Amino acid sequence: MTTTPPAGTITIAGKVVSRLGLGTMRLTGPGIWGDPEDRDTALSVLRQAVHTYGIRHIDTADAYGPHTVEHLIRDALFPYPENVLIATKVGMLRPAPNVWVPHGHPAYLRACVEASLRRLGVESLDLCYLHRIDPEVPIADQVALMQALQDEGKIGHIGLSKVTPEDIRMVSKELTIAAVQNVLNMTDRYDPALELCRETGIPYVPYRPFNAGTLAHEKGVVTPLHWLLNLGDHVAPIPSTSKPVHLDEIVTAATAWAR
């Protein structure tokens, strides 16, 4: 394994990991639905990220597939290296390709966590995000369930995804937020949660860093990735790709930034 992680390191969920992570949304079929076109290539991307390039932060969700990518991660990387953080997310229904429905009923969240534990082959999830705060369920109930699962040892650390500063402040009164994951890129440039995370010491994990590939097509990977890394040491982007050649381009850009 590479000894120097690309783009330096950051502490997330108690682990010192590479600031450059790997998002895994694209390791599925079209519409983030079903199996990838080439399963062997998907497994290769995961293995190369960790064992060749030294990426120590792998981000996924039970909704990717759904369930597809958690199975791929286990098949590619289990037993997981001790210094690698596997983060997943729960709280999203997938009734069809490209359809995403937040569902934060406590019983559903508990079932999701139990299923993710089995798919990933672990007794505790390193980092588990509430994929979305469900507006139809009291936020206190969603937070209480996540905290209960943490108290039971089934979740190590809790994160929030697609949240506002108000959400972060509210949840922070009840539990420690290990990471915040929001959209941020050179097209969607403004997120007030970025500064709140800087002020409070919460790692900020921008997803869709290349705006679903549009920015990479227009500008290449260097400019958008360097723009994010320059926003602060608390920023840990998770670009997603299904192609080894693109993974190599992303890692090369991150390594060049670190120099």
- Separation of CA 138 from chain center: 24
* Contact between 75 and 112 (Cβ < 8 Å): no
Catalytic residues: 64
Taking alpha carbons only, the member of 135, 141, 138, 140 closest to residue 107 is 141
Residues 6+ apart with CB under 8 A from 23: 59, 207, 238, 239, 240
Residues 6+ apart with CB under 8 A from 119: 62, 67, 70, 71, 74
